[in-house]
Structure 1
Amino acid sequence: MARTREFDIDQAVDRAMDLFWRRGYAETSLQDLLQELSIGSGSFYAAFGSKEQLYIRSLDRYASLQADDLGKAFDETTEIRTAVRQVLISLIEADLADPSRGCLVVNASTQCGDQPSAADRVTAALRQVESLLSGALEQAQARGELSADKDPRKLARYLTTFVQGLRVVGRGRMGREFAEDALSVAMRALD
């Protein structure tokens, strides 16, 4: 008879995500994961298969949380410039509060580029951000907030790239003035 799982998978993925985020994939050992999740190796392998598979699930979870936050920001704010600015300011504030943490997607892209499954997840996460931004920009254009000569998809790609660069700059501890100067220029793309 199979043993009943004695831990919550979603909570375990969240805890693993936090550990990978703090330490990075390579610096997180299986033993670190077992200790963080308070489970044995048999339970770990039965639930997650491998460290890499758990990392992929952690990336998926992170991307999902980020997409939810981005979607809410656009749903709760009717004016696109205000929404984009609030999102970017919140990223600047997060990086100022804890610059060593950065963004798990950026971390994965720089730490795990040779792992096809991680690279695929990074691409999917960036495409998701692009899609959310593009949809919000299209709606703003339909409301007359964005000039008809602007291409929402291209703007979304620019902003997606800017967000990732902003996260790298935050991790590099360039400071508030640097980030806010860059933000003021980026916001002009919506004019």
Structure 2
Amino acid sequence: MARTREFDTEAAVSRAMELFWTRGYEATSVRDLTQCLGIGQGSLYAAFGGKDGLYRAALERYRTTLAASALRGLEEGADARSAIRTLLTERIRIAVERGGQGCLAVNAVCERLPEDAATLRTVRDMQDATREALTEVLWAAMDRGEIAARHDPHTVAAFLVTFLNGLLVSAKVTPDLPALEPLVEVALAALD
């Protein structure tokens, strides 16, 4: 008879996400994971298939929690500029408050690509969702006359996602919110 799992896998994935975010994939050993999660190596492999599987689960947790929360904020924004400003500044605030650890998804890209196709798919899905949400906000804002109609919303949304990725890398180099926030205003000028 198979043994039942004796630990909370959701809590384990959350703790692993924090550890991978703090240390990165390569610097996090299976031993680090088992100690952090308080489980044996056999349990880690049985539940997640190993370090790679747990990393995928951690990236997915990031996508469904923090990344999804940022997109919900876009939907609730009063006007396009305010909603986009909030999205960008909130993401850099999180990156800076974590002591320059940046964004787990951007860190994953920098550390794991181009070799890791699964990480590429997960991060691409996150970026696609962000770009699509921004495009919808921009179309609606254009229809309301809030922003100039001179740029294609798809292109502006792609620019904003690219800008955000660069901003999150910069937050690792310069974890200083007052130094990074003015850059958001420069990006918002693309809406004029």
Where does 1:1-191 land on structure 2 (aligned, <5 Å)? 1-113=1-113, 114-173=115-174, 175-191=176-192
Q: Structure 1 unaligned segments of length 5 or more: list them.
A: none
Q: Which moved more, 1:102-111 or 1:90-99?
A: 90-99
Whole-angstrom distance in 2 between the partners of 1:174 and 1:50: 33
Identity among equivalent positions (%) equals 40
Secondary structure at 2:44 match in 1:
helix
**What is the one-letter code of the residue matched to 1:115?**
D
After TM superposition, the score normalised by the length of structure 2 is: 0.91
Instruction: Decide which moves more: 12-21 or 166-175.
Output: 166-175
Aligned length: 191
- Runs of 4+ aligned residues of structure 1 deviating over 6 Å after TM superposition are none
In structure 2, distance between residues paired with 1:160 and 1:122: 12
CA–CA distance in 2 between the matches of 1:133 and 1:13? Answer: 29
Shift of 1:177: 4.7
Q: Aligned-pair distance for 1:105?
A: 0.8
TM (norm. structure 1) is: 0.92
Q: Which runs of 5+ in 2 are unaligned?
A: none
Q: Structure 1 counterpart of 2:144, which letter? A: R
Tell me, yes or no, if the aligned pair for 2:139 and 2:153 is still in contact at 8 Å.
yes
